[in-house]
Structure 1
């Protein structure tokens, strides 16, 4: 992942003198783009023993119409969901936000991009109650850590004009520094209704796949 990130940064520095020229290196719109993706994360390393395949959503914004831009993204993923008893379930989740450079190459209906971001993540678990016609959710545990990611993808144009829309398909490697979290299956409900949590402390590495839409801003 570090090599991918360094490659993105190197390409950005090499291409920056060309940004003022009229070339084929363009972003979706003159003022950038925003979008949303469905994400699926494959656990790697120590997290493979403690987590499970995670699913969720991400949103992003790219703050320039040029080849080199600032990318800001945020994501939510659930890596464990358990049914505990009648009307009671638990979920362990990861929320992340990061920012960094993005380089986009190409024009028209087919473009490729690479990026590297840094930020932070929150690992937390909660219990949800849904019975007798009422519902509630209780926060059980949470810890924060630093996050780094690097990846890339392709943009397949669907429409042009004032609001260009493209399909976004990509992948990234994500590394979280050591963090304390509840592993998959680590929450159990006690007879009195409270919960016991087993915790581990490890780095958390994942490979994240994404598909969604990117909407240009003109």
Structure 2
């Protein structure tokens, strides 16, 4: 809860500072006053996650990508509806195994990956427009945590012939994001850099860690998921394009 309050406080401070700057800045030309959302916009991101709390004690940073769509809800384009999708991989491993009955002449790769897919949506408020435009978003939806293992030939990358889902759980997700658009191009479909951070909270979820997977492999047993709260901050950098 303290993290969510910190994000909302930072958002309010950022938007207030932006409004104060806008009041003292020269009046922009008409093409500069167009909000970064337009009527509808799309964006794509590269993402880095930082686990928090108990999740940080069990996992490392994650990497992935995401995208979003946004639609204006008012005439001034200040209030928008935003929907986000993201894919994050937070643990990966590869183990070389001999195929039974071949005397070690045929080698297999056992790959295990732990991932998170999040689908969230909510209102987004935009600050004053211009070269630098801050924003704040409240988000809610769901996330799916899952771990999958595959087996493939050592020279047949990305062509597995067997796979197993070791753990899977879908839970509610909620949080918020703050960031800014930085103008790159103008014109009919302006392009802006999108730099920000998003916090998502998951109160009760089952997920596998690298340690649990290693223990199961060494003991030739079934991996036992960790269960508990899983929170993380996602830092992202991408582009925002006004579609219409």
- For normalisation by structure 2, the TM-score amounts to 0.76
Give the Cα–Cα distance (whole angstroms) in 2 for the partners of residues 56 and 144 of structure 1: 19
**Distance change in 2, residues 1:170/1:8 (3 Å):** closer
Give the Cα–Cα distance (whole angstroms) in 2 for the partners of residues 28 and 157 of structure 1: 8
2:103 is matched with none
Assess if the C-alpha contact under 8 Å between 2:47 and 2:234 holds in 1. yes
Give the Cα–Cα distance (whole angstroms) in 1 for the partners of residues 131 and 92 of structure 2: 39
Count of residues in correspondence between the two structures: 206
The Cα shift of 1:5 comes to 4.5
2:84 is matched with 73
User: CA offsets per residue over residues 141-183 of structure 1, 9 Å max, x none?
Assistant: 2011110121211111111111111111001222111111112
Give the Cα–Cα distance (whole angstroms) in 2 for the partners of residues 84 and 140 of structure 1: 16
Q: Which of 2, 5, 19 lines up with 2:4 in the alignment?
A: 2
Computed over aligned residues only, the root mean square deviation of the Cα atoms, in angstroms, reads 2.7
Segments of 5+ residues of structure 1 without an aligned counterpart are: 12-21
Segments of 5+ residues of structure 2 without an aligned counterpart are: 16-29, 97-107
Give the Cα–Cα distance (whole angstroms) in 2 for the partners of residues 38 and 90 of structure 1: 22
Assess if the C-alpha contact under 8 Å between 1:152 and 1:172 holds in 2. yes
Q: Which has the larger radius of gyration?
A: 2
1:18-29 mapped onto 2 (5 Å cutoff): 27-29=35-37
Residue 135 in structure 1 maps to residue 160 in structure 2:
yes
Assess if the C-alpha contact under 8 Å between 1:92 and 1:124 holds in 2. yes
Between Structure 1 and Structure 2, which shows a larger proportion of helix residues?
Answer: 2
Between Structure 1 and Structure 2, which shows a larger proportion of strand residues?
Answer: 1
1:98-177 mapped onto 2 (5 Å cutoff): 98-131=120-153, 133=156, 134-136=159-161, 137-177=163-203
Moved over 6 A (4+): 6-9
